[in-house]
Structure 1
Amino acid sequence: MASSTQPTPVQSTRFLKLLIFLMFASFAMTTDSVGTIIPEVIRDYKLGMTAAGSFHYASMSGIGLAAILLGFLADRFGHKATILLGLGLFCATCALFAVGNSFGIFVLLLFVSGLGIGIFKAGALALIGDISHSTHEHASNMNLVEGFFAIGAVIGPAIVTFSLQNGFSWKMVYLVAAALCLMLVVGTLFAPFPKHRPKAIDEKPADMRDALRLLSDPFALFFAVALMLYVGAEAAIYVWAPTYFADYTGNYVWLAAYLVSIFFILRAVGRFFGAWLLSKLNWTVVVAICSTAMALLFWVGVAGGRDVAVFALPATGIFMSVLYPTMNSTGISCFDKSRHGSIAGFLLFFTCIGAVIAPLAMGAVGDMLGNSDYSMILGSLFATLLAILCLWNVARQPIAKKLAERNAEDYGSIDPADVNVRPIS
């Protein structure tokens, strides 16, 4: 099948990458600030962990619904139009935080902002595939993109902390995101995108059923499950770790106060390192090593208590860093470029399912047992299941043949690492 896009000049590609980098940083500032905001919401509105967690569930639900129902927009109408639509929606809802003043309104705004994120993220993920020249380069580019996401995830909580310490509202982070997003809308409007090639006349136009059909595809389901487990483990730290350490009075109180920021800093550094690491090792080896190390650190933290967890939990960021972008980009690379919007939306949907169900379960367990320790235990179980899946993947190599086929058809090259494999059956 012919590629869905035409090559773009080097300067245009660099500008598009910059836009994508900043898009991911902008929404990370809001989605990854919730762990810092939730303790304030609990105190201001007299809520339990489960109810206050709506600040996280709402945006993730919006992202997930937009991803599975509207991911096809990028394939049908082009990446530029889709990105502009999503960015505009996200920008507007972030700006409206300035006038909102009730918990219900905030949750509604977060849900709608999630819809915007889901729309433009699916378009941006598909665009990354268009400006990559091989499935291997796709994975490296995704790690760079997620590196900027991690930078946004550091900046967001820092803005919230700075605002609260200086007598301002936590809503400041949404206003900063709105300003950045407005600049991105202007940049995207005038940016030269690769020419969109609609499907041939004898092919059906892309619609939401394209994503639903992926439910029967073993490659899509493999990555969907892996991503759900990953975000379940990640949410244990950036959503519930601040609550887990809220009453901590041990020897490292100063460190606990900055635990989420340290986690995101280590994850940001690790993602840039991951782009280099993937140029040296097969992706299956990288994710197996990193997922196993992450799981071990979780259990070290659980076994050692808070005095040990204050070091072990943020350290997981080093190993988490490479997992999401590598698995996500590899999953997208398994499919023809003309379907990248649909598969990106499909995987994003399951990512959000994990990001809603896992912290919801952690909050419910913490409320039911009156102890947030069990939230960390549940996160450790998610990390362990992911490590087992990744170890099986490196032993069986079920994806490599599919990647070799896509390299040959979409990019005109074959990575020697993608042969002599056992396909998923």
Structure 2
Amino acid sequence: MQPLDSCCILRCMRHTDSIDNQSAHSPSPPVQFQMAGIFREPILFASLLGLASFAVSANALPSILTTAARDLNFPVTLLGTVVTAQFMAYAVFTLLGGWLVDRFRIPEMALVLVGLSLISLALFLVPRSGPIMTFYLWAAVLGGGGGLIESLSSVIISDFDTPGSSRLLNLSQFFYCLGAVLAPQIAAYVLRLGFTWYSAFSAFGISTAAIAACYACAWWMQSRRQRSCDVLPPQPPEREQKTFVFSRAQVTVIAMVMFLYVLAEGSMVTWTVALFEIERGLSASEAAQYLSLFWTGMLVTRASAAFLPLRLSYRTNIMSGFSLFLAGLVFLMISPNPLLAGVSVFLVGAGAGPVWATVVNMTRQSTHEARSVATIVAAGSLGVVVAPSLTGQLIEMWGFSAMLLFVCAVVTLALLTAAGVLSGTAAARNQPLLTEQEP
């Protein structure tokens, strides 16, 4: 077999419908080639690294919140509102980025590079003193850059994927999880070495600046190769060429599903350690292991969705994810045994794993609008904003059991809403509609 050049790789990635329908029991060489080929696409691989960089920035402040608050002489709860400001700006810039792409045809890659630059600048210029408003402005820059990166990188990655498949976007969320896991570890290591808390931000800033430089080089390489090979970049088809279309009303309902999903996920991420430390009497280090189990479960299902040749419909991925999420929560509530509780937390993370990427990819493939993807992603970010304070109030008034019951109710509502909006749509089953729906 003769080696394939990079131009052939780009063409081959457009024709993988038959690959995606291969049996899960006998992965074929084309599947392995497809997954290996993504690392030969400069802008695709750079987008994956960009998402990991965003994950580090999104989890940087929470990982050293207590230390920073003590050094700055701020109440922890007050400094915690900086995280809220960060994700409010994230939502605004997400919507702005989608609008700029659709309205003015600004390349997504240009705005992702702007986002990486903003994050790198913010991480280098973290305030070391001053009024709380200074930190709000700093967090707005950090969150705004993150909004541009995650939403538009998801658009870029989704356009490389086969219609009806969310493998690459699940792979991108695998990279996000890696960044989310690494951020607290790096911050803890920097603090153990005796450096100040803002030195950790400088370390994150250096890595983000390096990724931004790599991204700029990848964009240049991609453009040069496309010109030399006379190959167009992945582009969404025009409206009349679409195989299925979501109406505006459906996009709104799916945005609600995303909000509910992130509200539930954010609640678990925020309070899992406290649940096992305060409610179940474990040490801080032991309780932290349960949060690691949550992320491990998420990593497993996202990696499975990315690499296994079995192809599931959008609807199956979403419904099974919510069902597993709910089952894990129920087992957690009734499992006093630490081992069973750990399995329950793992199941919660595993259920949450494929939902975000599948919803975003389905929206992109069904609307081919950056602003629709931005709406979905922004709705999710509002869940991050609401989750800590809302569930914190529930814990303060009625305890952790009330919080878990609330999360169960949220996941159940998300499951029922998703079932309603997806049950009658061919898009959710990866099948073409006979006629398009009007927006």
Distance 2:60 2:80 in 1: 12
Deviation at 1:64, TM superposition (A): 0.2
Q: Does 1:386 align with 2:414?
A: yes
The TM-score normalised by the length of structure 2 is: 0.76
Q: Does 1:79 align with 2:85?
A: no
Alignment deviations for residues 124-143 of structure 1 (CA, whole Å, 9 cap, x no partner): 122123323x3224x11100
Q: Does 1:331 align with 2:363?
A: yes
Q: Does 1:268 align with 2:295?
A: no
How do 1:108-187 and structure 2 match up within 5 A?
Answer: 108-132=137-161, 134-137=162-165, 139-187=166-214
Deviation at 1:346, TM superposition (A): 1.3
Task: Sort the Cα spacing of 1:168 and 1:246 in 2 relative to 1 into closer, same or farther, 3 A.
Answer: farther
Structure 2 partner of 1:231: 262
Task: Sort the Cα spacing of 1:128 and 1:198 in 2 relative to 1 into closer, same or farther, 3 A.
Answer: closer
Structure 1 partner of 2:314: 283
Alignment deviations for residues 168-192 of structure 1 (CA, whole Å, 9 cap, x no partner): 4444543333122212221222222
Deviation at 1:295, TM superposition (A): 0.9
Task: Sort the Cα spacing of 1:197 and 1:332 in 2 relative to 1 into closer, same or farther, 3 A.
Answer: closer
What number of residue pairs does the alignment pair up? 385
Distance 2:79 2:405 in 1: 20
State the identity %: 19
Task: Sort the Cα spacing of 1:179 and 1:251 in 2 relative to 1 into closer, same or farther, 3 A.
Answer: closer
Distance 1:380 1:34 in 2: 28
Deviation at 1:58, TM superposition (A): 2.0
Structure 2 partner of 1:96: 125
Structure 2 partner of 1:407: none
The 8 Å contact of residues 248 and 306 in structure 1, kept in 2 or not, is answered as no
Deviation at 1:27, TM superposition (A): 1.2
Structure 2 partner of 1:301: 332
Distance 2:437 2:323 in 1: 23
The 8 Å contact of residues 233 and 379 in structure 1, kept in 2 or not, is answered as yes
Amino acid at match of 2:380: T
Amino acid at match of 1:159: I
Q: Does 1:189 align with 2:216?
A: yes
The 8 Å contact of residues 317 and 358 in structure 2, kept in 1 or not, is answered as no
Deviation at 1:325, TM superposition (A): 0.5
Equivalent residue in structure 2 for 1:322, among 354, 361, 366? 354
Structure 2 partner of 1:208: none
Runs (5+) with no aligned partner, structure 1: 1-6, 204-213, 405-414
Task: Report the secondary structure of 1:136's partner residue.
Answer: coil
Distance 2:170 2:208 in 1: 22
Deviation at 1:157, TM superposition (A): 1.9
Task: Sort the Cα spacing of 1:154 and 1:284 in 2 relative to 1 into closer, same or farther, 3 A.
Answer: same
The 8 Å contact of residues 127 and 134 in structure 2, kept in 1 or not, is answered as no
The 8 Å contact of residues 44 and 156 in structure 2, kept in 1 or not, is answered as no
Structure 1 partner of 2:27: none
Task: Sort the Cα spacing of 1:233 and 1:249 in 2 relative to 1 into closer, same or farther, 3 A.
Answer: closer
**Structure number with bigger Rg:** 2
The 8 Å contact of residues 254 and 421 in structure 2, kept in 1 or not, is answered as no
Deviation at 1:63, TM superposition (A): 0.8
Deviation at 1:268, TM superposition (A): 1.7
Amino acid at match of 1:295: L
